[in-house]
Amino acid sequence: MKVPGEKQMSSADVDVHWDVRIPLRDGIHLSALLYRPREPGRQCPAIVTLTPYVAQTFHDIGLYFAAHGYPFLSVDVRGRGNSEGVFTPCFNEAADGHDVVEWLAHQPYCNGQVAMWGGSYAGFAQWATAREHPPHLATIVPVASPYAGVDFPMRNNIPSPDLMQWLTLVAGRTSQDKLFCNNELFWGARFRRLFELGEPFQRFDALLGNPSAAFQEWLSHPEPDAYWDSYNPTAEQYAQIIIPILTITGTYDDDQPGALKHYREHLRHANGDAHDRHYLIIGPWDHAGTRTPMPEFVGLRIGPASLIDLPDLHLQWFAWTMQNGPKPAFLQKSVAYYLMGAEKWRYADSLDEITSHYIPLYLHSTGNPTDVFHSGSLLETPSPESEPDHYVYDPRDIGLAGLECFVDPESRVDQRMVNASAGKHLVYHSAPFDADLEISGFFKLSAWIAIDQPDTDFRAAVYEIDPDGRALLMTDDRLRARYRENARKPRLLRSTQPLRYDFEGFLFTSRLIEKRHRLRLVIGPINSIYRQKNFNSGGVVSKESMSEARPVTVRLFHNEEYPSALYVPLGRPES
């Protein structure tokens, strides 16, 4: 780090060393790009990232950190890029990360302190390395970090065909980035083909012409089990991680569940000092925005306060944790989160402290509420006697495939989706709010549902609706019926009586809901080219095909005996 008043280097003052060989304990050598400040004899803290996307991907950030005085090492993981060995996704990063950190710490340009940097896979690699407790690891900054079995390679035990899109990206040794990014023309068409053919999900790699051992192995573990546990730190390993940590995720980050799972597990098991050294930032960003915040994505515009300079914040963090610099001014408390609508950052001492309390909004209807113009209600008191609402979902119905731009939960959704799928979803609205309302935290939904098949999939989504009827997706959750009681232990449905389904996997959201706006809750099936199709028959979902499809009638109850309710998290007043 440059001290105040010292001349700042530029990228011209950085030496780049190609194919630096790093020996591992088993004789394999990894390859890295090394970016070094052109200051002979100077020892500084060093930064490392492990990537399957080939080392040159981080050329710009390597130049940036080195120009600010930190040697930066971008390492091809085992079996990728110019590194030796065989690539097995996520498998070798713990031991290999340990060896890389210790090797780097003993280089003549490093003062013995090593930090890790990076997002998504590189965020996972940081947690994997930290669980091995390399003595010279000084700090990690895991960004958008997946947690194996929770949000990768499936969320809530429901995988997506884009697994094969990602596995194609990291197939072989070289970069497949052009092939990976052609979503609309290439991947969308292939997701649609799988959807329309009704082939078993496990055949998708063969249909693509890219048979994948990893894809097949992952599908053989459809719920969190010992296999997935082995990828993540144990309780004992979390307890021994005492270094400073800065966790970063986004409101619309696909890997928010994993990032927050790591965060919660570390805080649950860490001692008091380590607990106090773990900071969390939740920005108004999607997955890519956790590295490079954008003022607009998928139609959502965010205020300029959201555009924090994350590389500079990382520099401040490294200076604070490794060079006795001042604490970054942005980190006013342990948790920073962005309140959309108000367009400002808020702070809390803990993630749980963000929510002041929950208000229940009870589901109610006087008729079957299957579209936005004949919707049910979200009321402050339970409904008296009323008939259950219902919809019928037939997995053979592929007629809505053309509406996937609206159905995909990562997109903004407007009323055209709900209207076009009338009869396929249940829709409920709150009354317009008579004052501004801050909603911050995790929605919850308790719904009493009866189905007449052994299994099916549900999606519940919450939207903000403005006075003109425009809808903004706030958060969503999804649930496979067989995991109603326990995500780790499937249990097929044997009763057609109403059972309580607790949707507790909504993503964190924080938004100021303006006066006269209201909430919309939509509950329906998952019938999407972007998700594995459940054919409702109760078999092994990845092996089932359209020939085994069974229509299911879903009934949702809401009365005094079965009070279905949406629980809305209200933020704390700003102090």
User: Which CATH number covers residue 407?
Assistant: 2.60.120.260
**127: number of Cβ within 10 Å:** 31
Q: Are residues 325 and 236 in the same domain?
A: yes
40 has pLDDT over 90: no
41 has pLDDT over 90: no
245 in Cβ contact with 279 (< 8 Å): yes
The predicted model gives 382-394 an average pLDDT of 91
**Lowest-pLDDT range of 248-262, 289-303, 514-528, 554-568:** 289-303
119 has pLDDT over 70: yes
469 in any annotated domain: yes
466 has pLDDT over 70: yes
4 in any annotated domain: no
145 in any annotated domain: yes
| pLDDT tier, 155 (very low <50, low <70, confident <90, very high otherwise) | very high
pLDDT, position 11: 77
515 has pLDDT over 90: yes
pLDDT, position 400: 57
Question: Two tokens at 436?
Answer: 């501004």
Q: Are residues 139 and 166 in the same domain?
A: no
**Residue that finishes a domain, picked among 295, 319, 350:** 350
Q: Which residues contact 2 (CB under 8 A, 6 or more apart)?
A: 8, 9, 68, 69
**496: number of Cβ within 10 Å:** 12
Q: Are residues 379 and 490 in the same domain?
A: yes
- Residues 32 and 50: their CA atoms lie apart, in Å, by 9
Give the percent of the chain with pLDDT over 90: 87
**Lowest-pLDDT range of 47-51, 420-424, 463-467:** 420-424
Q: Are residues 285 and 305 in the same domain?
A: yes
Q: Checking DSSP bridges between strand 110-119 and strand 137-143, what pairing results, if any?
A: parallel
pLDDT, position 403: 40
Kindly state the helix (H) or strand (E) to which residue 162 belongs, with its residue range. helix 162-169
Tens-digit pLDDT profile for residues 68-108: 999 999 999 999 999 999 999 999 999 999 999 999 999 99
Q: Are residues 171 and 317 in the same domain?
A: no
**Residue that finishes a domain, picked among 350, 385, 405:** 350
The predicted model gives 205-227 an average pLDDT of 97
The predicted model gives 7-30 an average pLDDT of 90
337 in any annotated domain: yes
Number of domains in the chain: 3
Q: Are residues 169 and 140 in the same domain?
A: no
222 in Cβ contact with 154 (< 8 Å): yes
**Which amino acid makes up residue 143?**
V
134 in any annotated domain: yes
Residue closest to 439 by CA, chosen among 507, 504, 522, 378: 507
401 has pLDDT over 60: no
Question: Two tokens at 117?
Answer: 């940097």
- Residues 412 and 405: their CA atoms lie apart, in Å, by 9
410 has pLDDT over 90: no
8 has pLDDT over 50: yes
Q: Are residues 399 and 543 in the same domain?
A: yes
Tens-digit pLDDT profile for residues 412-428: 444 444 444 556 899 99
The three-state secondary structure class of 451 is: strand
| pLDDT tier, 573 (very low <50, low <70, confident <90, very high otherwise) | confident
pLDDT, position 409: 41
1 in any annotated domain: no
4 has pLDDT over 60: no
Sign of the CA dihedral with 356 first, then 441, 304, and 308 last: positive
- Residues 70 and 37: their CA atoms lie apart, in Å, by 7
Question: Two tokens at 516?
Answer: 């006269």
Q: Are residues 381 and 345 in the same domain?
A: no
**Lowest-pLDDT range of 214-218, 398-402, 409-413:** 409-413
Question: What is the DSSP code (8-state) at residue 99?
Answer: H
Question: What is the DSSP code (8-state) at residue 26?
Answer: T
pLDDT, position 5: 38
- Residues 136 and 102: their CA atoms lie apart, in Å, by 6
The structure tokens 């970090």 sit at 145
Higher pLDDT: 417 or 562? It is 562
330 has pLDDT over 70: yes
Q: Are residues 26 and 72 in the same domain?
A: yes
238 has pLDDT over 80: yes
575 has pLDDT over 90: no
Concatenating the DSSP letter of every residue in 373-410 gives: GG-EEEESS---S-PPEEEEE-TT--TTGGGHHHHSTT
Question: Two tokens at 254?
Answer: 């696909």
The predicted model gives 145-168 an average pLDDT of 96
Domain with 255 in it: 11-151+226-350
Q: Are residues 162 and 183 in the same domain?
A: yes
- Residues 466 and 209: their CA atoms lie apart, in Å, by 46
55 has pLDDT over 70: yes
450 in any annotated domain: yes
**Residue that finishes a domain, picked among 326, 350, 374:** 350
324 has pLDDT over 70: yes
Q: Are residues 215 and 311 in the same domain?
A: no
6 in any annotated domain: no
**Which amino acid makes up residue 220?**
S
Residue 89: which CATH number? 3.40.50.1820
2 has pLDDT over 90: no
Buried b (16+ CB within 10 A) or exposed e, 394-420: ebeebebeebbebbbbebbbbbebbee
pLDDT, position 423: 66
Q: Are residues 370 and 476 in the same domain?
A: yes
